[in-house]
Chains A and B, each alone.
Chain A
Amino acid sequence: MSSELKSKEEKKNGAAVEPLVEAGTAYAPDTDIVEDEQGLKLILDIPGVSPGGVTVELDENFILSVKARNVFVEPAGNASRQFSIGDYYRVFQLGDVYDREKVNARLENGVLTLTIPKREDVKPKRIAIRA
């Protein structure tokens, strides 16, 4: 399964972008961020979101925003709730070492995984020692 990945460029080119998340109804999803030499991996819990309901943007200032529409329909009846059903929205400020063109997004079982590689020129280089 893959989720939609829309860049600002696409927006400028006139691709239809509907407002995914309405003001005042969004929740910040629980997120794990894992870093290694290759880049970042962000794992976001967004239960209730189906593939195609996610917009991920990484803008020129390296602000990463994730918006997701919850399509789950609550059952009828009197409720006792430990969680609320709503859309998701969260913003992260990243460093400028990442490759905006190579962001990968995958949505599976309500978990969104973003893989954001570092630019080749900032990855650690191994230097061979001459004899």
Chain B
Amino acid sequence: MIWTTDLFEELDQMRRGMRPLWEGALAGDGLEFPPVNIYEGRDEYALILCLPGVPKDKVEIRFAENTVTLSGERPEQVLEEKSGYLRRERDWGRFERAYRFPVKVNADGASAKLENGILVLTVPKADEAKPKQITIQA
């Protein structure tokens, strides 16, 4: 089998496109939109998505097997007649991101808030995954 340059380019693009955020990251679609920050606290994880201009009802959050999938859409702006772009920097379109948590989480205790264009998803760790403090006996 002959490896063509194109394939290598494609692989390279794939590699650059996939941005594993931690070891358990399942998928990155390679799109710039939306950027995601992930925070790990002692008892919970927080995922922050930059979603300016995306209404609440355009975002879907699903849990399955310790994996959360966030998907949605930022609609493309519809231009009026006889108008045109002088500059176009904002991304638009559909997105989907899936993250598998490295420890067991309590999906039922998750909460999400979308405010001023930033989505905050808070996912508590399962009780058995939380760090335990051991009291030293006298």
Q: Which residues of A contact B (CB under 8 A)?
A: 30-37, 40-41, 43, 45-50, 71-72, 74-83, 108-111
Contacts and interface: CB of A to CB of B under 8 A. Distances in A.
B89 A77 contact: no
Contacts of A37: 82
Interface string B95-114: 00000000000000000001
- For the complex of A and B, 4 pairs with smallest distance between CB atoms: A110-B117, A36-B83, A47-B117, A110-B52
Given A32-B77, A48-B116, 6 more contacts: A32-B87, A32-B89, A34-B84, A35-B84, A45-B52, A111-B53
B48 interface: yes
Contacts of B61: none
B36 interface: yes
A16 B96 CA distance: 44
B29 to A, nearest CB: 13
A46 B82 CA distance: 27
How many B residues are at the interface, by size bracket?
35 or more
A31 B90 contact: yes
Contact of B87 (A31, A48, A72, A82): A31
Contact of A109 (B55, B89, B91): B55
Contact of A80 (B37, B80, B85, B87): B37
A74 B38 CA distance: 10
A82 B90 contact: no
B49 to A, nearest CB: 9
Interface in B43-84: 45-46, 48, 50-55, 77, 79-80, 82-84
B87 A76 contact: no
14 contacts: A33-B86, A33-B87, A36-B80, A45-B52, A45-B90, A46-B117, A47-B51, A47-B52, A48-B116, A71-B116, A82-B37, A83-B37, A83-B50, A110-B116
Contacts of A110: 51-53, 116-118
A94 to B, nearest CB: 11
B54 A109 contact: yes
Contacts of A46: 52, 117
B117 A109 contact: yes
A78 B42 CA distance: 9
